[in-house]
Amino acid sequence: MGAYSSPIISVRNISKSFPGGIKALYKVSLDVYPGEVLALLGENGSGKSTLIKILYGMYVPDEGKILINGREVKISAPRDAIKHGIVLISQIPQLIDNFTGAENILLSLREAGSFTTRKAFLERVKKITSELGIGVDLDLKVHTLTYTQRQLVEVIKAILLDARVLLVDEALTYLPESGRKEFYKFMLDFKSKGNSIILVTHKISEALEVADRLAILRRGVLVDVLSRNDATPEKVRLLMFGVGVNSAHSMVEERGEPAHSGKEVITVKELVVSGDYGEESVRGVTFNVRAGEVIGITGLTGNGQRELVESIMGLRKVLRGKIYIDGFDVTNKGSSTARSMGVGFIPDTPLRYGVALDMSILENTALVLSRNTLLLDLNAVKKTTLKIINDYNIATKNDEVPVKLLSGGNLMKVVIGRELEYAKKALVAYNPTRNLDEYTSSVVRKQIVRKAREEGLAVLYVSEDLDEVMQVSSTVYVMSSGILHGPFETRTVEKSVLEKFMVM
């Protein structure tokens, strides 16, 4: 907090509930001071995103108030928040792919009512990029930029919007180490000018590294606010989960020890797949996954992993090459073919592929489990659904709640639990622990490895989190510019070797 004694932003007795009896926040009061980074932590469904959305005007609280510099304000839309100097940077850059970086920024300025001439705009951009040492060409189309560059466009946008309070919602999660350092540098510069950052993260280590204070939410209640000097990983875990969790090494004994791997289940040969704009995103990829084996693929965001996963699941057209499931050619035969063969699929964006939003948790589970049967046993499906809710600690009143009312993390838990129940032959998982808290991530990894070991499931585990891929896989590949490098045995390969391939 430095020399500042009065908060720049305060919330008082904020409560928010949703239909279905979901109480997201209950009488939360919190201060954020000028010149500080406040980390906001909590398990999935604890209310972190709800609080951020209230501050940004995406939700209106049922009760309570927001104060800026001690004065109560009404924030009922993002435009209101921006007028008060509150700007959001989220995990997924809010940019139009077919616009240039400059066009995206200008559009946001105009939507916020901050009109400017192009000349003045370019002069300010030049000054900002020079001061921060940001190297990104704003004349390039967004779809050609790396994930790091897209987030830096968001940073420039926030500064041009005269942000005084930044809401950084999981925006560092998939940045490579170099990009993370650039973002840290910006955060230090930003707060040194008397501005503030509320950092939402599921990584306790990250919060302890960059935050001045840590606020912990649990089941919608603010349980404590710790200074960085008073916070330890174990203390934070106890506040978040009620138990100590040592997930950092919880799977190390599993690494590189595949069960009795059997016949090939997933076979990919010389695969070439195009991206959204016609470029070759997957370039001659060949690998296989055997029964009982966990094969990992890692790489920086945007190097062809998504296109590879979507082509295997029949969701993207293959230009050349072949995909086989259990020896059967499924190339370009649609998602229903692979699914009907008992292949589970955990997408990183369940809203796109994973769920029917207006249906309940029970109905979404039934929708998938009924694929290969003419007669659906509703009692069995209900029993399975309740087991998923219990096993993954899904925050919901009951299984009849529409999934659109769940938090992002709880929605992901529904998909993960359902797909692990459905998968009989193989599982394709793409960033399965994205947006999950530390404890749940550990549970998910253990469940996936257990299914491979005990039930002979062939698992393709694709994630931008290198540590996680090394933790669960017996063999790992690195994907860079659409090319697959490897295989590497996780028992023997050095992490630094994989990192070099990631930035090729």
How is 404-455 classified by DSSP, letter by letter? GGS-HHHHHHHHHHHHHHH-SSEEEEESTTTT--HHHHHHHHHHHHHHHHHH
| Sheet with 213-218, edge to edge strand ranges | 86-90, 165-169, 196-200, 37-42, 213-218, 221-227
User: Rounded CA gap, 122 and 96, in Å?
Assistant: 19
For residue range 414-462, list pLDDT tens digits in order. 999 999 999 999 999 999 998 788 888 999 999 999 999 999 999 999 9
Please, are residues 409 and 439 in contact by the beta-carbon 8 Å criterion?
A: no
**Among 17-21, 90-94, 399-403, 443-447, which stretch is predicted with the lowest mean pLDDT?**
17-21
The pLDDT of residue 317 is above 90: yes
User: If you average pLDDT over residues 48-56, what whole number do you get?
Assistant: 95
Report in angstroms the alpha-carbon separations of 232 from 207, 218, 222, 228.
10, 17, 18, 8
The pLDDT of residue 357 is above 70: yes
User: If you average pLDDT over residues 267-272, what whole number do you get?
Assistant: 98
Picking from 312, 314, 319, the residue whose alpha carbon sits closest to that of residue 278 is 319
User: Rounded CA gap, 91 and 435, in Å?
Assistant: 9
Average pLDDT, the chain: 89
Confidence category of residue 247, pLDDT binned at 50, 70, 90: very low
User: Rounded CA gap, 419 and 391, in Å?
Assistant: 14
- Output the pLDDT for position 243: 63
Q: Is 255 exposed, middle or buried (0-12, 13-18, 19+ CB in 10 A)?
A: middle
The pLDDT of residue 184 is above 80: yes
Separation of CA 74 from chain center = 30
User: Rounded CA gap, 385 and 391, in Å?
Assistant: 10
The pLDDT of residue 240 is above 80: yes
The pLDDT of residue 185 is above 50: yes
User: Rounded CA gap, 35 and 100, in Å?
Assistant: 32
Enter the DSSP assignment of 186.
H
For residue range 131-142, list pLDDT tens digits in order. 777 778 889 999
User: If you average pLDDT over residues 321-325, what whole number do you get?
Assistant: 98
Please, are residues 2 and 196 in contact by the beta-carbon 8 Å criterion?
A: no
Give the H or E element holding residue 205. Answer: helix 204-210
Q: Considering all CA atoms of the chain, what is the largest pairwise distance in Å, rounded to the nearest integer?
A: 69
Confidence category of residue 376, pLDDT binned at 50, 70, 90: confident
Confidence category of residue 337, pLDDT binned at 50, 70, 90: very high
Confidence category of residue 260, pLDDT binned at 50, 70, 90: low
- Output the pLDDT for position 329: 98
- Output the pLDDT for position 14: 98
**Among 63-72, 183-192, 295-304, which stretch is predicted with the lowest mean pLDDT?**
183-192
User: If you average pLDDT over residues 485-492, what whole number do you get?
Assistant: 95
- Output the pLDDT for position 344: 96
**Among 62-76, 122-136, 185-199, 463-477, which stretch is predicted with the lowest mean pLDDT?**
122-136
- Output the pLDDT for position 255: 52
Q: Output the six-digit token pair for 305.
A: 């992993």
For residue range 78-121, list pLDDT tens digits in order. 999 999 999 999 888 889 999 999 999 988 888 777 767 778 88
Domain ranges (residues) in the chain: 9-241, 264-502
Confidence category of residue 321, pLDDT binned at 50, 70, 90: very high
- Output the pLDDT for position 119: 81
User: Rounded CA gap, 461 and 457, in Å?
Assistant: 12
Give the H or E element holding residue 236. Answer: helix 233-241
- Output the pLDDT for position 251: 41
Instruction: Look at the block and give the residue holding tokens 């973002």.
Output: 183
The pLDDT of residue 285 is above 80: yes
Q: Where are the alpha helices (DSSP H) in 242-334?
A: 305-312
Greatest mean pLDDT among 123-137, 158-172, 233-247, 415-429: 415-429
Confidence category of residue 248, pLDDT binned at 50, 70, 90: very low
